[in-house]
Structure 1
């Protein structure tokens, strides 16, 4: 029996991360015998002296948001299992921790996430992951129509 192919994908609720999830599912289905691990890292914004809500409440809301995104974007007939992980810490470091732990074969991130600098060409999480990941990194560019297969990849 062959070992599962692991695709880790960062999902932060942004349009870019939704496209990254679509790319991850599309790629995993092509490869076969794959599992997608959807990861959402969370941390308190630096502008607060103390948390507005307790860590359990923030983790619960973060998990609920990730579950909602997965439920909305993963088709019911999807042949690829999707696991979810909510990880405390900076999103880029959280992603790379999961990549190492599951021995990921591919990391997929959006070109820009939900950070405050929407005009950046490549988001800081994507940049960090490209520089530090120990597996290939696919930086998904958003499709205007939100199609599930990347442009030109339909079969």
Structure 2
């Protein structure tokens, strides 16, 4: 008997990532897999601030990311009850690189088509496009409303 399929899903709280999480949970439910919900954060930098930039520590940034991840997973699980185990990963680093690193030995990587940044009119965001291009496992890109 083989190991349970391991599914990594990128979560940032955006509608696209919520759709991706719903899709990943549904898929895992059908195939008996496990889900790792991952949020990545980078230290905030302020180039121009008057009179002085607010002080936001790495610890604060990590805590905010963790809270966003937990809130998104809890909201999604409440709307779509599941028995699928969901592991939480809060990672310091760029989103695309963090997802690719964690999906290196995964069976599937799931991302939303667009996150919080970028240009609203583009079909794919930079993170999803980078993941599709560089992942060592299959990648599913989910559009908001498509999960």
Whether these two folds match at TM > 0.5 is yes
Given candidates 79, 88, 92, the residue that maps to 1:88 is 92
1:122–1:51 Cα change, 3 Å: farther
Partner of 2:38: 39
- Distance across 2 between alignment mates of 1:12 and 1:5: 23
Q: CA RMSD in A?
A: 1.9
**Deviation of 1:51 (Å):** 7.9
Match of 1:71 among 74, 81, 95: 74
Q: Is the 8 A contact 1:9 1:24 kept in 2?
A: yes
Task: Report Cα offsets for 1:8-65 as digits up to 9, x if no partner.
Answer: 0000110000000000001111111x11000001113565478841101110111011
Change (3 A) 1:96 1:115: same
Normalising to structure 2: TM-score of the pair?
Answer: 0.88
Change (3 A) 1:15 1:57: same
In the alignment, structure 2 segments of 5+ residues that lack a partner are none
Aligned length: 142
Residues 73-125 of structure 1 deviation map (CA, whole Å, 9 limit, x = unaligned):
0148411100010111110001111112xx21000000111113222210000
Tell whether the 8 Å contact from 1:44 to 1:51 is kept in structure 2 after alignment.
Answer: no
Q: Which consecutive aligned stretches of 4+ in structure 1 deviate over 4 angstroms post-superposition? A: none
Contact 1:11 1:17 in 2 (8 A): yes
Please list, as runs of the form range in 1=range in 2, the aligned pairs for 1:2-151 lying within 5 A after superposition. Answer: 2-32=2-32, 34-45=33-44, 47-48=46-47, 52-75=55-78, 77-100=81-104, 103-143=105-145, 150=147
**So what's the TM-score if we normalise by structure 1?**
0.84
Check whether the contact 1:6–1:105 (CA below 8 A) recurs between aligned residues: yes
